[in-house]
Amino acid sequence: MKLYPEELETTEGTSVQLTTGETEPASSTDSWKSIYDIISSLEKYKTEEVLFYAAEILGKEMGSKNVAIYNVANREYARLYSSTSLEARRLGNSIKYIELGEMYSELKAGRIYVNETNDANRPALAHAIYAEDDIRVILMFWDVSSKKHGVSPVKRLTVIETLLQNTLLYASRYMSNFRRKNYLEGTNVLKEDTFRVLLKAFLDAKEKGLTECVLVEFEMGYRDYKSISIQAACKIRLTDYMGVLNGGKFYILLANTDIKSAEIVQQRFKQIGFRTELKDVHYKDL
């Protein structure tokens, strides 16, 4: 999505009401243009990369080392998509966001959640991005700079969300529909060229510390990828990806998964008769 400086006009010269009741005057035009310049750097990324690098860019702009982006799966659960640190993953890879108490109440009301009690189990700031009446993406910041560009964290996040909303929503929808549009006919297995593109995006983000993932290779024997996928599908999550590489070999990409967790999944495959190998693959190898 192309962003334009004119979009900033809706936020310049205004005041934002903080949860404490304090109002803060808008900062200078130069400060907002600085925000625009950093946020617009997302344009250089492919759609499948946006949700990874948005975490990194948001961290820079909010003065936060610990940022997490959750993609909402349904009206109860959200799945971690990208993060900038282990600390940012504190709530886990999957969260039942409707049970987050005050934080959920604030997000549901369309407000920025501010952790005024310094609850160690909640981020310093959180904000939800909506599509119509539904939460689609949740942004969490576990630490923030109190002043950056001379602007309060709440106001900075308000402006940043205004600029990024459409870009993040488009990327979220794109990834939700990614499989449906790229399956091999009659299966839920991704085509080789598509799977390779996706794998590159995940591996590049992994090498930059923005996600965790593991690639599982199956020994196919006499089986084809269709028959394997039917059995393997019941042992993985909806956020994992099945695909083929190297002329038809069957693989599964376990998203937001470390080696220890992947070994548990590997045992599940073994229990249904499959031999697998966890591959040490790097972006440059593809």
| Residue 172, domain CATH | 3.30.450.40
pTM for this structure? 0.85
- Same domain for 127 and 198, yes or no, is no
- Same domain for 193 and 280, yes or no, is yes
Domain that holds residue 126: 5-181
Q: Are 38 and 60 in contact (CB under 8 A)?
A: yes
Dist. CA 229–CA 226, nearest whole Å: 5
| Token pair in block for residue 161 | 């969300």
Which residue among 181, 203, 229 closes a domain? 181
Region of residue 270 (left: phi > 0; alpha: psi -120 to 50; beta: else)? alpha
| Residue 257, domain CATH | 3.30.70.270
The number of folded domains in the chain is 2
- Same domain for 70 and 169, yes or no, is yes
In this predicted structure, what is the pLDDT of residue 254? 97
Which residue among 150, 181, 212 closes a domain? 181
Dist. CA 256–CA 207, nearest whole Å: 13
Residues of the chain with pLDDT > 70: what percent? 86
In this predicted structure, what is the pLDDT of residue 148? 60
Instruction: Tell me the residue length of the chain.
Output: 286
Of the CA atoms within 13 Å of residue 51, those in its CB half-sphere come to 27
167-189: pLDDT as tens digits: 999 999 998 888 888 999 889 99
What amino acid occupies position 123?
P
In this predicted structure, what is the pLDDT of residue 18? 35
**Residue ranges in the chain whose pLDDT is less than 50:** 1-28
In this predicted structure, what is the pLDDT of residue 30? 59
The count of other CB atoms within 10 Å of the CB of residue 112 is 21
- Helical packing angle, 153-182 and 47-62, nearest 10°: 170
In this predicted structure, what is the pLDDT of residue 16? 35
- Same domain for 139 and 208, yes or no, is no
In this predicted structure, what is the pLDDT of residue 24? 44
In this predicted structure, what is the pLDDT of residue 147? 63
In this predicted structure, what is the pLDDT of residue 269? 98
In this predicted structure, what is the pLDDT of residue 19? 39
- Same domain for 68 and 155, yes or no, is yes
- Same domain for 108 and 191, yes or no, is no
- Same domain for 81 and 107, yes or no, is yes
- Same domain for 162 and 196, yes or no, is no
In this predicted structure, what is the pLDDT of residue 247? 86
What amino acid occupies position 282?
H
Which residue among 127, 149, 181 closes a domain? 181
- Same domain for 16 and 116, yes or no, is yes
- Same domain for 132 and 33, yes or no, is yes
- Same domain for 131 and 203, yes or no, is no
